[in-house]
Amino acid sequence: MVDPQLLRQAAAMLRQARRILVITGAGLSADSGLPTYRGLGGLYNGVTAEGLPIEEALSGPMLQQDPALCWKYLAQLGRACLGAQPNAGHAAIARLQQEKPECWVLTQNIDGYHRQAGSAPERLIEIHGHFSPLYCQACGAVDENLEAHLAAPLPPLCSRCGGILRPPVVLFEERLPEAALDDLYEQIERGFDAVLCVGTTASFPYIQEPVLRTRASGGVTLEINPEPTVLSAWMDLCIEARALDVLPKVISHIFFD
């Protein structure tokens, strides 16, 4: 049970902030029952039936070298995305963005749930891409039939040219999308009054940097995660809980207290 006073404190910090960055990771989607790349790896004890580390099976080079094998594991991610839904945590974040027109969301998740929950696409940075719609690697055509492709033999092929389709996600050994990085760094330059980390344990530079810079410029930093993370030392406030349980309460305190 989280101390209700902590939730009010978090709400007070966010209420005062104009420019807010919410950073979300696997923990938020795990609350929807979704495995992540790493979580999916966990299903195989880190090794696929072919004896490969899951990071190798789900890599950019593997998609080129053996598309059927890579797609065997991509398809599991795709089915997981289609089989679950955004949760109350996603909805609370979308609500915060509606009330705070300078609130941005940076997510590591590829499930598209922020968009589905109503987050403003122009203030959403999906740094690892999103699973759907697929596109053709040969001709670039966009293909909206993910569900049908997942029920058919893999890899899915382009109806226009027969090329192999892929999701616009960042596979292992691939680079982050430049447009998303540009958007992020433009906003980091403009500065944030508050950064809220939700369900992420990652220590990538693009997560650490906004946290550290916001602190250095006198802003506040908050974290909601079931366990302490590498980011916890830099937080003004940590709430050790699942986002699904506490985020809706924090957000409603902001606007109703």
Of 128, 130, 149, 253, the active-site residue reads: 128
State the minimum distance, in angstroms, from the CB of residue 64 to Zn ion: 16
90 is catalytic: no
CB of 112 to Zn ion, least distance (A): 22
Find the part of the chain contacting Zn ion (CB under 5 A) among 87-95, 105-113, 126-134, 152-160: 152-160
Question: How many other C-beta atoms are found inside a 10 Å radius of the C-beta of residue 215?
Answer: 15
| Choices 38-46, 132-140, 185-193, 199-207 (CB under 5 A): range interacting with Zn ion | 132-140
Check residue 138 for interaction with Zn ion (CB under 5 A).
yes
- DSSP letter at 154 equals S
- Is 43 an interacting residue with respect to Zn ion (CB under 5 A)? no
**Structure tokens belonging to residue 240:** 């050790």
**Residue from 77, 4, 14, 2 nearest 236 by CA:** 14
Q: Which region among 28-36, 48-56, 134-142, 147-155 touches Zn ion (by CB under 5 A)?
A: 134-142
With CB under 5 A as the contact rule, the residue among 47, 98, 142, 160 that binds Zn ion is 160
> Are 201 and 27 a contacting pair, CB within 8 Å?
yes
Please write down the long-range contacts of 227-233, taking CB distance under 8 Å and 24 or more positions apart. 227/201, 229/197, 229/200, 229/201, 230/201, 230/203, 231/197, 231/200, 231/201, 231/203, 231/207
Burial class (CB in 10 A: 0-12, 13-18, 19+), 182: exposed
Residue of 11, 136, 220, 224 that binds Zn ion (CB under 5 A): 136
Q: How far is the CB of 73 from Zn ion (least distance, A)?
A: 22
Residue 49 or residue 139: which is nearer to Zn ion going by CB? 139
CB of 47 or CB of 139, closer to Zn ion: 139
In what order do the strands lie in the sheet containing 165-166? 142-143, 134-136, 165-166
Footprint of Zn ion on 161-220 (CB under 5 A): 161, 163
Q: Which CB atom, from 18 or from 160, has the smaller least distance to Zn ion?
A: 160
Q: What is residue 5's three-state secondary structure?
A: helix
For Zn ion (CB under 5 A), the number of binding residues is: 8
Helix (H) or strand (E) holding 197: strand 194-198
By the criterion CB under 5 A, which residues form the site for Zn ion? Answer: 136, 138-139, 141, 158, 160-161, 163
Catalytic residues: 128
